[in-house]
Every structure is written in C-alpha cells, then in structure tokens.
C-alpha cells in the first residue's frame, strides 16, 4: 500500500480513538431525534434447534482464585487434542456473555458495555465438544442457550481460512460481532471506540474463564473480515465481526 494511503488510514484510526465528547450533542443523536430504540438482543427463528447450556449450577467448576487465573494466563496457540465438555462450554458462556437483566433498553451483561448499549452478539464455532455436533452456533442471551445455525463439510476449513489458519485443532472459536447502531443510537460518533473496548472486555472474560478450567485462549484480531462475516452469515454492514478467540486444552 502506498505510504500516503497508510498515513491517511493511521490518521482515521487515531481519530476513532479520540472522539470529542464535547461535540456530542444529545439532541442530534438518533435517540435525541426520536428514532426508535434498536432491539437489545437479536431475534431468532423459534423453530431452530436449541442447545441448552447449564447456568448457575456450573458456577463452581473451577477452584482457582482470580489471582491464580490472572497469574497463569498466557495466550495459548498450541492445544492438546482434548474436547471441551458441556459443563465447561456452559461455564465459558455463563462467565463470558451472560445477560443479567434488561431495563429501559439497557442491557446488563457479564462484561461492561458503553451506556449498557451492549452492541455485541456472540457466536461459536464448535470444533471439539463432547456430545455436541460440530458447526456454527449463536448464543441467545435471554435464555442463556445456544442456537444451532448450520454445519457442512467445508465449514471447518472455511472457518480456519477466515481466521487465517489459527484454529490449530482448538476446541471452539468464539466470535463477537457488533451491531453498531445499538450504541450509535445513543452515542453517535463516540460509539466506535466504546464498541472496540466492549469487545476487549468480553474477550478478557473468556480468557480468564478458559484459564480457570485449565483451557487456554488466544484473542485474534488478524482475521479475514469478509470470510468471517460470511461464515457467521451477517451482512458486514449493520452487523459484522470485530473480534474472536480460539479456546483449546492446555
Ligand atoms: C486486540 C488483540 C488482538 C490480538 N490479535 C492476535 C492475533 O490475531 N493473533 C495472535 O496470535 N495473537 C493475537 N493477540 C494476542 C497477543 O499477541 C498477546 O496477547 C500478546 O502477545 C501478549 O501475550 P499474552 O497474552 O500471553 O500476555 C491479540 C491480542 C489482543 C489484545
């Protein structure tokens, strides 16, 4: 890429990281202009296959302290050929993406989100989980369960290509998409930095939860945007992938 173009992109990127909150006029935001609030969770086809995850009952499957978890966490890129079991998968979702409650279009999750706007959706590619078919699933925050999306013979390879060959035999790939309008509706041009931070918070929960059950995780931002959006079946405009992480056995 040409040097001028790189400088221009760097400038745009820096601008995104320093929005001027003094320029944010509440009455000029979509909310201030009276636009209807966006849905706080994505709808789903009620005929879908739903995989029930365990909730409260798996909260004690790790006996590690927060200190131990933080102390031993390192990005993990080499995995044993060992699957997650359903209790462990449930635990990862419970501690990573759980929805506590929704109040006046604000959504309170296991991780903090700008103004409780919770722009993220969580998807998972299941590669190795005991008693669970491989394939793409979406987390349903209201019930705390998984919705089976699809599987086919090419999916593992497509996912691996989309994440630039970083699957490495891992048990699962967590994908976060953003529906940016959820945050833009209230915070307009100051939203995008907050959305990126929100994804960081969610992924950190996953890193720590993985560590707590002797699995490991690597956060991935170097992925192919178009291919990730394609495997997640999102439009790439109103919803698109922003972050992902591979989880595998230490
Ligand atoms: C925003 C972000 C993006 C990252 N993207 C990648 C990635 O695409 N591929 C990768 O192997 N590691 C990725 N990492 C992991 C970092 O390389 C890793 O966190 C760093 O080397 C520090 O190591 P530690 O996590 O063991 O402390 C990413 C980390 C962060 C926070």
What is the pLDDT averaged over residues 163-179? 98
Residues 6+ apart with CB under 8 A from 160: 166, 167
Q: How far, in Å, are 107, 189, 190, 197, 219 from residue 20 at the CA level?
A: 25, 9, 7, 17, 29
What DSSP letter does each residue of 156-198 carry, written as one string? HHHHHHHTTT--TT-SEEEEEEE-THHHHHHHGGGHHHHHHHH
Q: Is 75 in the pocket of ligand 1 (CB under 6 A)?
A: yes
Q: Where are the alpha helices (DSSP H) in the chain?
A: 3-17, 66-72, 86-97, 155-162, 181-187, 191-212, 225-232
pTM: 0.97
Rounded-to-integer distance, Cα 150 and Cα 10, Å: 38
Residue 221, ligand 1, Cβ within 6 A: yes
Which residues make beta-bridge pairs with 135? Answer: 126
Q: Give the model's pLDDT for residue 178.
A: 98
Tens of pLDDT, residues 13-43: 999 999 999 999 988 999 999 999 999 999 9
Report the pLDDT value the prediction gives residue 215, as an integer from 0 to 100: 98
Residue 78 CB–ligand 1 contact under 6 Å: no
Distance 226 CA to ligand 1 centre (A): 21
Best CATH choice for the domain 3-249 from the list 3.40.50.970, 3.40.109.10, 2.60.40.10, 3.40.50.300: 3.40.109.10
Mutate to test the pocket of ligand 1, among 69, 197, 218 (most ligand atoms within 8 A of CB): 218
8 Å CB contact between 220 and 235: no
**Among the listed residues 220, 181, 206, 172, the one whose alpha carbon sits nearest the alpha carbon of residue 38:** 181
Q: Indicate the domain borders of the chain.
A: 3-249
Q: What is the mean pLDDT of residues 184-205?
A: 98
Please say whether the beta carbons of 191 and 48 come within 8 A: no
**Given pLDDT bands bounded at 50, 70 and 90, which one contains residue 145?**
very high
Q: How many CB atoms lie within 10 A of CB 92?
A: 26
User: In the prediction, which pLDDT does 56 show?
Assistant: 95
Reading the block at residue 86, the tokens are 């359903």
């Amino acid at each position: 890429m040409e040097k001028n173009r790189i400088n221009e992109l760097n400038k745009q990127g820096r601008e995104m990281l320093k929005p001027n909150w003094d320029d944010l006029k509440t009455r000029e935001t979509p909310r201030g202009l009276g636009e209807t609030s966006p849905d706080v969770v994505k709808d789903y086809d009620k005929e879908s296959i739903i995989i029930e995850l365990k909730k409260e009952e798996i909260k004690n499957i790790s006996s590690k302290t927060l200190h131990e978890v933080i102390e031993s966490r390192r990005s993990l890129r080499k995995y044993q050929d060992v699957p997650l079991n359903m209790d462990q998968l449930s635990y990862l979702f419970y501690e990573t993406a759980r929805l506590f409650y929704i109040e006046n279009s604000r959504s309170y999750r296991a991780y903090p989100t700008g103004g409780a706007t919770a722009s993220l959706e969580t998807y998972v590619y299941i590669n190795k989980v005991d008693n669970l078919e491989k394939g793409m699933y979406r987390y349903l925050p209201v019930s705390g369960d998984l919705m089976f999306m699809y599987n086919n013979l090419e999916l593992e390879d497509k996912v691996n290509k989309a994440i630039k060959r970083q699957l490495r035999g891992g048990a699962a790939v967590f994908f976060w998409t953003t529906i940016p309008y959820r945050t833009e509706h209230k915070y307009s041009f100051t939203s995008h930095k907050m959305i990126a931070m929100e994804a960081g918070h969610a992924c950190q929960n996953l890193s720590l939860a993985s560590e707590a059950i002797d699995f490991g995780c690597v956060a991935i931002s170097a992925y192919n945007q178009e291919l990730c959006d394609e495997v997640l079946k999102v439009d790439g405009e109103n919803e698109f992938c922003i972050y992902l992480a591979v989880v595998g056995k230490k």
